[in-house]
Amino acid sequence: MESPVPVKNPVVADYDVAYLDQNWSDEIRNEWWYTGQGSWLLPYDWFRVLEQAGSEERLSSDKNMERLGFISGSKNNKWNPDSLPVGFVKEADPKSKETYLGVTCAACHTSQVEYQGKRFIVEGGPALADFDRFITEIAEALQATLDDDNKFKRLTDNYFDGTYNPAKAKELKNQMAKVSADFNARVERNRPPHPNGYGRLDAFGNIFNEVVVTAINEPGNVNVVNAPVSYPVLWDTPQHDVVQWNGAAVNAGIGPYVRNAGEVVGVFGGVHIEKAVDGSPGELQYRHHINLENLKRLEDILITLWSPVWPETLLPAIDQEKAERGKSYYDKLCLSCHETIDRKDPGRQITAKIVPLKEIGTDPVMAENSTSGISRTGILEGQPKLPLPGVPAFGPEAPSGELVGNVIVNILFQELPKMLGPDAFKNDLGEFLQAKKKYSTVPLGYKARPLNGIWASAPFLHNGSVASLWELLKKPDERMRQFYVGNNELDPVHVGFSISDGPLTSKFDAALTGNSNQGHDYGTDLSDANKLELIEYIKTL
């Protein structure tokens, strides 16, 4: 087994943390954590001084951000001079030079694992953060500041830093009222029927609403956001032919740009469609602040990431004899869907298997939501569904997914020919369209992927409904219906995180919509001893 990389600069000053050998240097790690993608949540200087709704403690305090599940970040280096948590960045508007709090891929795709007082970072691992709660608390903090004169006075004292005057304060309050209204509207349209809790987000639901409601200005198009999923692991993502839990996004050609730009659409990419300034009939402008150059750099970094190997200097050693026996069960029960790969092979290519809903039997809501929503097309009515010759135009209504595709592809058509060059863009577009056609008949279901590094990604199944590998190998009706999420303490025997209640946990209930823990009953007929051997082998992947 490979050893963790020695800690040169601890993530935070008051405790040590190890980094696993995942092929990233300290420099690359920091670049990944702190490269902005154009996701602007709110003015940066507001974030630094904004108080929480119910107290005078700042929203941005380390204590508060850790309470929400975000990881304390590098301190005072060139990538993170303000010591922000992992995945947050001070990002400047290149036109106005105003600065915003940005969020990056790393906020949701970096995990911290603990075991008996030792901590280590898993790059590309699923975060146990409550992003929905974070956005809601920003909305609550803004509104409370507007409603409470004392809060607003404290904010202005800090914000203006000695240059306060009534006119400036009035202007700030007007600006804050507009941002607050936008935040409140966003929270309401994306409010889940029950809290997602730590480690989950209905990403598709948020992306869909930010297009079919906000971008095209059709408030009546709100889609119900009721299918939260765990943040998927990112290692080997660029090497897959299709990505997303339901395999909905192809990776060929411009596919990575579609995937990454779509993610930013859902997290404050500022997309808004309007008619051309010159009044040209039928011409639309796709306004946004998605940073495609940075997304390309982040994808280039991600290509080099290796999955984590079980670190035996930090966790109990793997029983190799048990693991060898477990391999025979894996080959018989798992290998047909979850191929094994060489995690270091730079030429590795992974063909995903989409398992139909009827076969896999897991919660169907996320997969069904991705294809079932219908929205009014608004400003897109009469526009070609894609900016290509011979493509039919939108009528008054269309599947929500088609509207999302239209917006993302039109943004890329505006930007990529200049960025890549016309010929390269044309070639990449052709590859993308060919791959889309190839996968147009894929059944509705969920994607099976190689299980290398899966030990670091509990809870399991796409919706995080199964606490550990041990639970996954139980008969579906025998699995825990309720447990707590948010602990980083690893159970190395059953391979999952602690499920105990605590101050930084949320309760998972499999009885709620989108939370079913049924299905995936492979291996459930094994004896308990054989199940532990299978788990021991999976730890080696």
* Confidence check: pLDDT of 520 > 60: yes
Please report the pLDDT score of residue 279 as a whole number: 59
Rounded to an integer, what distance in angstroms lies between the CA atom of residue 16 and that of residue 262?
Answer: 36
Rounded to an integer, what distance in angstroms lies between the CA atom of residue 164 and that of residue 146?
Answer: 17
What value does the mean pLDDT take over residues 41-49? 96
Find, among 255, 268, 273, 298, the residue nearest to 110 by Cα: 298
pLDDT, one tens digit per residue, over 94-130 is: 989 999 999 999 999 999 999 999 999 999 999 999 9
What value does the mean pLDDT take over residues 231-248? 95
DSSP-based helix, strand, coil % in the chain, nearest 5: 40, 15, 45
The contacts of residue 239 (CB under 8 Å, 6+ apart) are: 303, 348, 349, 350
Please report the pLDDT score of residue 63 as a whole number: 94
Is the CB of residue 59 less than 8 Å from the CB of residue 141? yes
Copy the structure tokens of residue 377: 């097309």
pLDDT, one tens digit per residue, over 418-434 is: 999 999 999 999 999 99
What value does the mean pLDDT take over residues 383-412? 95
Average pLDDT, the chain: 93
CA distances from 265 to 164, 271, 272, 311, 407 (A): 36, 7, 10, 36, 9
pLDDT, one tens digit per residue, over 353-368 is: 999 999 999 999 999 9
Please report the pLDDT score of residue 428 as a whole number: 95
> What does the radius of gyration of the chain's CA atoms come to, in whole angstroms?
23
Rounded to an integer, what distance in angstroms lies between the CA atom of residue 313 and that of residue 29?
Answer: 22
Chain-centroid distance, C-alpha 209: 16
* Confidence check: pLDDT of 397 > 80: yes
What value does the mean pLDDT take over residues 232-259? 95
Which one of 11-20, 162-171, 318-327 scores highest in mean pLDDT?
A: 318-327
Please report the pLDDT score of residue 6 as a whole number: 37
Cα torsion through 38, 43, 49, 51, rounded to 10:
-90
Q: Which residues of 360-395 are buried (b: 16+ CB within 10 A; e: fewer)?
A: bebbbbbbebbeebebbbbebeebbbbeeeeeeebe
pLDDT, one tens digit per residue, over 195-208 is: 999 999 999 999 99
Please report the pLDDT score of residue 124 as a whole number: 98
* Confidence check: pLDDT of 7 > 60: no
